[in-house]
């Protein structure tokens, strides 16, 4: 443990953590745009700068470790002035279209500009003017809104392991891009959307069938039903419709999802979706209750087993079930029915 | 593989063959009679002269020498002589005659007159090599006699492609001494005691850096030589690598021994193909002789060096960006959560030093820390190489003891200002440095003194500016460079320098606003204190220093819409005075027909039409066209 003073108050914190981590644990708010604790320290947005006693230069709290006796000012005049100027610089090179931007209400740039009183970008110079890449089925990339925090690039590289996107050009002309700027559709992108989830602004946005504002939706935490991993996610519900999905922090998925969980939610409200079991009677499917269906299954199994023996039966289970469910299924086949004829779709 | 004994033998044998080259180190013109039979023509193969086809010149010399039946004349190309302004440069030994601006057609004359008849070709003598009819030895030429060469000790003497000539001038003796007689601590202590500071710009004490890496326990350590020289107009490192590549290899091997590393990398820009080629040859020769590779000189110490070529990004000269680049990623600086000497390349303890720093190490090991500390100042010992450029008479490469004043460098060595114009400022440290005005010309050049007056030592760029240079435009020039070279990672540098440049462009275009100076100052503060790496943290220095010393020039641009130096085109007006004789030359040369007037009458420029190209001014025979 080390003793550090933050804004005049002395604290004891663990050693070998950064100032930002210490402040997060102590509930001292520090703005960040490029920080993500799942990723290697990056230090690009410079919003988390703090003043250290005895140092003229400001230090990024996300990349500076605490030291015994350190005296930190997180909101001194100089720090606040610098943060305001950084936000001004960012906003000066950003479309001022918050009114129609899909990200409004969930945008960190918007939040911090509000917090630090930056009403508009005061530098009336050159602004980026790139075309929007909407070649991907599920999301769009607007380089003009990008603040180059690099989260998307790093998530794709360090967490997703796909490395479909990277930076091109230098300085003011820097842009997140695919190899040879061929567009997302022609890249190695697997459409997992983890970049979209990491984007703090409106540069990467999911394509929406139904428009909604961040404050209009209710977030319902659930487990993804596509496979047995058990990824945690939020269903975004507007009225009684699921309008989107966002990854949630959870042990199995570390805030990540795959393309199915992230974007494959339209079946939920689909008119063709089966909502009750069906039994074929006289060549036609008819709706039935679960009790009826289970009775029918049990009787058929018993009948076949008695007539032809247990090996006349085989069970095939699904990757959409959890590990526990799959375990129980094979247990039922082996112990109850008495056959080893059991398999799983993931093997096919 | 050779032994220490064999190394000594190579030294002695080669030294005998190099007797004429050693005359370069003498200071007096030798008796012409006695020196008639055996001669050495030394041709400068430095970056500037090399571009004038010195290989062909050498062949022409050899051809004529053969035609004339001369047998005891050797022609050799060596590294940079330094005085690039007057290249191609040639020296004749043993006399020490210094010829400059030699053209292909002058070669026969040198052979016929100088070599055959022993008559110096006076018209080809360097201007500084003759004073009131008396011919001076090259070392007595003003450009050279205040210099002190440590890093450049072999440049311009040895054949850079011959390891034996390097060995003859004490090469690899320091390495032999260190690995056979000294412990790692002793090597580090000697470098520490010498007070050698990093020559790349920041001036961090080299020995202390080495000690940090030495004390950190790891299974693998690395040595990197930063040869990504990128400041506009700087070619110090290039000249060392091209003229004396082994001095850098030996310095790196010494560092490897001191910290316990077995692998070194030279990160060099691909735009230096000549240096890359000579380094490849040098590494190959050193490996063949067993001076690099496994079990050097039969000891337990092994050290290998590989080249890594940079693709030309200025930011890759920044240590962490350089390591990212070697590791195969985009060259962007990474935050220094841990020290490079603890966790550097591939997360292993790493020492990154500049070319010139490494070149200084072997002499320190041989001659001792006290010798090195006796040169220079207490703050900064040793010498520093500068690439002297801009509006100075003798542009070129100079190496001076630390503490030499700016005035001595610019006026004594550099020969003063071109066209005898008035000195205005000197810019040191490249895009990271500042402009120093006349009142500080007597400042001694060392790390501490330069930073006190708002500039930095930097890697050694020194650009002299005269009264015709606009300081706002100079700041704009450097900002333009930084904006182009910013990697784009952090906000203050990426967005801030661009906005700063836009303001400077506005001011030089005559559209400056009253609030612009405050804006520049606040931007400078944010960029300096908030940027991630050294590039951004120093990017505003050219603006800060010019605002400090030449604020009146900014104000003249903004409030009076006037450029005092007459450099900003948008603020100028071309005007024909009553000196005009009506020759019509100007009207005929004007590309946009903006000049009217009858023959033998005064002409007038239509300022609406004028595109300010200056063609009229150039052709006027009586100097009637002026800028105002």
The model's pLDDT over A250-286, given as tens digits with 9 standing for 90+, comes to 999 999 999 999 999 999 989 999 989 999 999 999 9
Would you say B309 and B225 are in contact if contact means Cβ atoms under 8 Å apart?
no
Q: Which of B335, B484, B530 sits opposite A58 (nearest CB)?
A: B530
Number of H helices, E strands in chain B: 27, 19
A44 burial via Cβ count (<10 Å: 0-12, 13-18, 19+): buried
Q: Kindly state which CATH superfamily the domain B16-143 is placed in.
A: Glutaredoxin (3.40.30.10)
- Terminal Cα distance for chain B, rounded: 71
Q: Which of B488, B522, B530 sits opposite A167 (nearest CB)?
A: B488
Nearest CA distance, B505 vs chain A (angstrom): 11
Interface of B with A (CB under 8 A): 313, 315, 330, 332, 334-337, 483-499, 502, 522-523, 525-526, 528-532, 537
Alpha carbon distance B294, B289 (integer Å):
11
Given this model, what pLDDT does residue B28 score?
58
Residues of chain B with C-beta less than 8 angstroms from the C-beta of A154: none
Contact A55/B at CB under 8 A = no
Taking alpha carbons only, the member of B522, B424, B438 closest to residue B474 is B424
Given this model, what pLDDT does residue B26 score?
65
Q: Which of A44-48, A84-88, A102-106, B231-235 has the lowest mean pLDDT?
A: B231-235
A293 burial via Cβ count (<10 Å: 0-12, 13-18, 19+): middle
Question: What number is the ipTM of this complex?
Answer: 0.89
The answer to whether domain B16-143 and domain B573-627 are alike in fold is no
- The CA–CA distances, whole Å, from B159 to B77, B252, B332 equal 7, 21, 38
Residues of chain B with C-beta less than 8 angstroms from the C-beta of A64: 337
Which CATH code of 1.10.132.20, 3.30.565.10, 3.40.50.10260, 3.40.50.11540 fits the domain covering B171-373?
3.40.50.11540
Polymer length of chain A: 348
E strand or H helix that includes residue B48: helix B47-50
Q: Is B496 in contact with A89 (Cβ distance < 8 A)?
A: yes
Helix/strand/coil (H, E, C) string of B342-355?
CCCHHHCCEEEEEH
Q: Is B484 in contact with A171 (Cβ distance < 8 A)?
A: yes
Alpha carbon distance B456, B601 (integer Å):
55
Task: Please list the ranges in chain B whose pLDDT falls under 70.
Answer: 25-37
Distance of CA B381 to the CA centre of its chain: 19
Given this model, what pLDDT does residue A226 score?
87
Polymer length of chain B: 628
* Model confidence band, residue A225 (pLDDT cutoffs 50, 70, 90): confident
A110 Cβ contact list (under 8 Å, min separation 6): A98, A103, A104, A201
Cis peptide before B94 (omega within 30 of 0): yes
B471-559 classified as CATH 1.10.760.10: no
Would you say B600 and B581 are in contact if contact means Cβ atoms under 8 Å apart?
yes
Given this model, what pLDDT does residue B118 score?
86
Q: Is B490 in contact with A46 (Cβ distance < 8 A)?
A: yes
Alpha carbon distance A172, B495 (integer Å):
6
Residues of chain A with C-beta less than 8 angstroms from the C-beta of B332: 167
Q: Is A42 in contact with B486 (Cβ distance < 8 A)?
A: no
Per-residue tokens: B223 = 């040595």
B296 burial via Cβ count (<10 Å: 0-12, 13-18, 19+): buried
Residue with tokens 């810019």: B427
Given this model, what pLDDT does residue B22 score?
80
Domain B383-466 -> CATH class = alpha beta
Q: Is A89 in contact with B495 (Cβ distance < 8 A)?
A: yes
Given this model, what pLDDT does residue B48 score?
86
Cβ count within 10 A of residue B292: 26
Helix/strand/coil (H, E, C) string of A184-215?
HHHCCCCCCCHHHHHCCCCCEEECCCCCCCHH
User: DSSP characters for A44-111?
Assistant: -S-TTEEEETT-SS-EETTS-B--TT-EEESS-HHHHHHHHHHHHHHHHTS---TTT-TTTTS-HHHH
**pLDDT digit string (tens) for A171-200?**
999 999 999 999 999 999 999 999 999 999
Given this model, what pLDDT does residue B190 score?
97
Q: Is A58 in contact with B529 (Cβ distance < 8 A)?
A: yes
pLDDT beyond 80 at A346? no
Given this model, what pLDDT does residue B152 score?
95
pTM of the model: 0.90
B506 Cβ contact list (under 8 Å, min separation 6): B512, B513, B516
* Sign, Cα dihedral of B532, B535, B537, B540: negative
Phi and psi based region of residue A241 (left: phi greater than 0; alpha: psi -120 to 50; beta: remaining): beta
Distance of CA B448 to the CA centre of its chain: 20
What residue spans define the domains of chain B? 16-143, 171-373, 383-466, 471-559, 573-627
Q: Is B491 in contact with A43 (Cβ distance < 8 A)?
A: no
Which CATH code of 3.40.50.1820, 3.40.47.10, 3.30.460.10, 3.30.70.20 fits the domain covering B573-627?
3.30.70.20
User: Which domains are delineated in chain A?
Assistant: 2-90 (3.10.20.740), 128-207 (3.30.70.20), 217-269 (2.20.25.90), 274-308 (no CATH), 310-348 (no CATH)
Interface contacts (A, B; CB < 8 Å): 106
pLDDT beyond 70 at A132? yes
- The CA–CA distances, whole Å, from B416 to B125, B142, B547 equal 20, 12, 25
User: DSSP characters for B481-534?
Assistant: HHHHH--S-SHIIIIIHHHHHHHHHHHHTT---TTHHHHHHHHHHHHHHH-SSH
β-bridge partners, B376? B381
Would you say B492 and B527 are in contact if contact means Cβ atoms under 8 Å apart?
yes
Contact A61/B at CB under 8 A = no
Looking at every residue in chain A, the average pLDDT score rounds to 94
Q: Is B532 in contact with A43 (Cβ distance < 8 A)?
A: yes
Nearest CA distance, A203 vs chain B (angstrom): 17
Nearest CA distance, A174 vs chain B (angstrom): 6
């Amino acid at each position: 443990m080390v003793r550090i003073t933050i804004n005049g108050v002395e604290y004891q914190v663990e050693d070998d953590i950064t100032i930002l981590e210490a402040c997060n644990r102590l509930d001292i708010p520090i703005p960040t745009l490029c920080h993500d604790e799942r990723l290697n320290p990056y230090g690009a947005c410079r919003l988390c700068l703090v003043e250290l006693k005895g140092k003229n230069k400001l230090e990024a709290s996300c990349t500076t470790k605490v030291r015994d006796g350190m005296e930190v000012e997180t909101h001194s005049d100089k720090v606040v002035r610098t943060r305001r100027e950084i936000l001004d610089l960012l906003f000066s090179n950003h479309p001022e279209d918050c009114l129609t931007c899909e990200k409004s209400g969930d945008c960190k740039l918007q939040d911090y500009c509000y917090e630090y009183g930056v009403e508009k970008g005061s530098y009336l110079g050159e602004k980026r003017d790139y075309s929007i890449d909407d070649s991907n089925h599920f999301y769009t990339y607007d380089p003009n809104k990008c603040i180059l925090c690099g989260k998307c690039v790093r998530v794709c590289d360090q967490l997703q392991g796909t490395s479909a996107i990277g930076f091109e050009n230098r300085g003011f002309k820097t842009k997140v891009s695919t190899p040879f700027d061929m567009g997302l559709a022609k890249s190695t992108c697997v459409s997992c959307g983890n970049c979209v989830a990491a984007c703090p602004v409106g540069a990467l946005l999911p394509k929406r069938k139904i428009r909604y504002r961040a404050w209009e939706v209710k977030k319902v935490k659930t487990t993804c039903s596509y496979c047995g991993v058990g990824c945690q996610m939020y269903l975004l519900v507007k009225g009684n419709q699921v309008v989107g999905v966002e990854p949630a922090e959870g042990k199995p998925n570390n805030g990540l999802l795959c393309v199915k969980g992230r974007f494959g939610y339209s079946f939920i409200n689909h008119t063709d979706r089966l909502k009750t079991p069906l039994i074929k009677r006289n060549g036609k499917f008819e709706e039935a209750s679960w009790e009826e269906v289970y009775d029918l299954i049990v009787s058929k199994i018993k009948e076949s087993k008695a007539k032809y023996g247990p090996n006349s039966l085989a069970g095939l289970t699904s990757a959409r079930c959890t590990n526990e469910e799959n375990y129980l299924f094979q247990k039922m086949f082996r112990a109850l029915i008495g056959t080893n004829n059991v398999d799983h779709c993931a093997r096919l | 593989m050779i032994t220490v004994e064999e190394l000594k033998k190579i030294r002695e044998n080669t030294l005998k063959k190099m007797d004429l080259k050693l005359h370069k180190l003498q200071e007096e013109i030798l008796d012409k009679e006695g020196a008639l039979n055996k001669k050495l023509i030394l041709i400068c193969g430095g970056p500037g002269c090399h571009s004038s086809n010195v290989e062909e010149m050498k062949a022409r010399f050899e051809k004529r020498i053969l035609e004339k039946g001369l047998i005891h004349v050797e022609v050799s190309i060596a590294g940079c002589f330094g005085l690039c302004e007057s290249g191609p440069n040639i020296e004749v030994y043993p006399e020490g005659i210094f010829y400059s601006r030699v053209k292909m057609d002058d070669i026969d004359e040198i052979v016929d007159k100088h070599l055959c008849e022993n008559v110096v070709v006076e018209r080809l003598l360097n201007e500084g090599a003759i004073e009131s009819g008396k011919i001076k030895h090259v070392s007595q030429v003003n450009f050279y006699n205040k210099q002190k060469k440590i890093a450049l000790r072999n440049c311009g003497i040895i054949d850079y492609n011959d390891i034996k000539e390097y060995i003859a001038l004490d090469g690899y003796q320091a390495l032999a001494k260190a690995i056979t007689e000294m412990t790692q601590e002793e090597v580090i202590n000697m470098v520490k005691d010498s007070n050698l500071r990093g020559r790349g710009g920041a001036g961090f004490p080299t020995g202390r850096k080495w000690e940090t890496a030495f004390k950190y326990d790891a299974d693998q350590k690395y040595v990197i030589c930063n040869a990504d020289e990128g400041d506009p107009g700087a070619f110090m490192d290039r000249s060392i690598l091209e003229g004396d590549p082994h001095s850098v290899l030996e310095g790196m091997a010494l560092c490897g021994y001191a910290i316990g590393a077995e692998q070194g990398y030279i990160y060099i820009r691909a735009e230096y193909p000549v240096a890359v080629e000579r380094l490849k040859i040098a590494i190959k020769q050193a490996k063949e002789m067993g001076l690099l590779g496994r079990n050097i000189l039969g000891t337990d110490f092994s050290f290998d060096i590989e080249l890594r070529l940079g693709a030309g990004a200025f930011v890759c000269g920044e240590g962490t960006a350089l390591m990212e680049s070697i590791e195969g990623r985009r060259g962007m600086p990474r935050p220094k959560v841990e020290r490079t000497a603890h966790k550097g390349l591939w997360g292993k303890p790493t020492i990154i030093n500049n070319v010139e720093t490494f070149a200084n190490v072997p002499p320190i090991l041989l001659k001792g820390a006290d010798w090195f500390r006796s040169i220079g100042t207490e703050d900064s010992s040793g010498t520093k190489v500068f690439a002297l450029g801009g509006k100075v008479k003798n542009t070129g490469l100079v190496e001076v003891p630390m503490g030499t004043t700016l005035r001595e460098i610019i006026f004594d060595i550099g020969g003063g200002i071109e066209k005898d114009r008035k000195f205005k400022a000197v810019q040191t440290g490249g895009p990271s440095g500042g402009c120093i005005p006349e009142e500080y010309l007597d400042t001694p050049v060392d790390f501490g003194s330069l930073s006190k007056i708002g500039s930095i030592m930097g890697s050694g760029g020194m650009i002299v500016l005269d009264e015709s240079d606009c300081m706002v435009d100079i700041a704009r020039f450097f900002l333009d460079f930084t904006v182009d070279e910013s990697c784009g990672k952090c906000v203050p540098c990426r967005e801030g320098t661009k906005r700063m440049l836009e303001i400077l462009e506005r001011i030089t275009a005559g559209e400056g606003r009253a609030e612009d100076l405050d804006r520049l100052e606040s931007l400078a503060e944010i960029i300096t204190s908030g940027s991630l790496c050294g590039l951004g943290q120093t990017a505003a220095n050219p603006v800060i220093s010019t605002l400090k010393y030449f604020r009146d020039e900014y104000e003249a641009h903004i409030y009076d819409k006037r450029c005092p130096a007459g450099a900003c085109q948008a603020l100028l007006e071309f005007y024909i005075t009553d000196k005009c004789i009506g020759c019509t030359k100007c009207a005929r040369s004007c590309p946009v027909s903006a000049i009217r007037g009858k023959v033998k009458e005064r002409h007038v420029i239509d300022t609406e039409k004028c595109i300010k190209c200056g063609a009229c001014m150039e052709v006027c025979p009586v100097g009637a066209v002026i800028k105002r």
